[in-house]
């Protein structure tokens, strides 16, 4: 049985697709389309916000749409579960090595979501060690559209998630400048030279269809 192929997009195509799909989603869930990580400032009650009596949903830290059916974020907690239900997820990719929290596992089981865990230790520079084989295995899950919609996350949605997404962008034939710009947008002042060097040297040839 042939696996449906992930459709590669240029930065321009991805931006147009992102704008169309994400702006529609944002109108429903109350997220600012210009900044996917921003949320209407309100009081959280049981995972949903209340604005003028209407329910709004709270995304995880650093949430954004990567491409059609692919999302990224920091580690979700129970306050984010109602939001995640709106995505209709089939899979979650966790890049943290620690045992997945019981409340999160219960949420995944209740919603028929499969967990893929590719644990990478969250070292700080200069002791950063990014196992290439682990990133490659995570990308294989992402490239199989039968796992979509899929959420990729680590603790903060910056470094480990950023490396996975950056390597995906190389598969999509993004230039390194665009790859690094996206990485730095999420990592901000915490951007790591080691992460960017890893993405630059990562060989995508074995993953190409």
Nearest to 11 by CA among 169, 207, 183, 142: 169
Q: Which two tokens stand for residue 209?
A: 């269809």
The verdict on whether 175 is a catalytic residue reads no
From 26, 94, 96, 154, the catalytic residue: 154
| Distance in angstroms (rounded) separating the CA atoms of residues 33 and 51 | 18
Which whole-number Å values give the CA distances from 61 to 17, 104, 197, 206, in the listed order? 22, 15, 25, 32
Residues 6 or more apart whose CB falls under 8 angstroms from that of 157 comprise 60, 61, 62, 63, 72, 73, 74, 75, 186
Sheet of strand 54-57: strand arrangement? 44-45, 48-51, 54-57
- Residues tagged active-site: 154
């Amino acid at each position: 049985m042939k696996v449906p192929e992930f459709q590669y997009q240029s930065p321009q195509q991805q931006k147009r697709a992102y704008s169309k799909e994400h702006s529609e989603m944002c109108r429903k869930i109350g997220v600012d389309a210009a900044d996917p990580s921003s949320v209407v400032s309100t009081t959280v009650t049981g995972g949903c916000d209340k604005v003028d009596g209407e329910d709004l949903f709270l995304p995880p830290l650093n949430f954004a749409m990567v491409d059609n059916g692919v999302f990224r974020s920091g580690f979700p907690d129970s306050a984010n579960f109602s939001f995640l239900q709106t995505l209709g997820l089939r899979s979650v990719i966790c890049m943290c090595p620690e045992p997945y929290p019981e409340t999160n596992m219960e949420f995944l089981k209740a919603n028929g979501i499969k967990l893929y865990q590719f644990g990478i230790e969250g070292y700080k520079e200069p002791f950063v060690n990014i196992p290439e084989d682990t990133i490659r295995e995570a990308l294989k899950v992402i490239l199989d559209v039968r796992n979509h919609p899929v959420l990729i996350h680590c603790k903060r949605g910056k470094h480990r998630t950023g490396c996975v997404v950056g390597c995906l962008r190389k598969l999509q034939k993004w230039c390194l400048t665009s790859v690094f710009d996206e990485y730095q947008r999420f990592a901000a002042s915490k951007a790591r030279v080691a992460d960017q060097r890893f993405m630059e040297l990562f060989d995508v040839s074995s993953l190409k269809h």
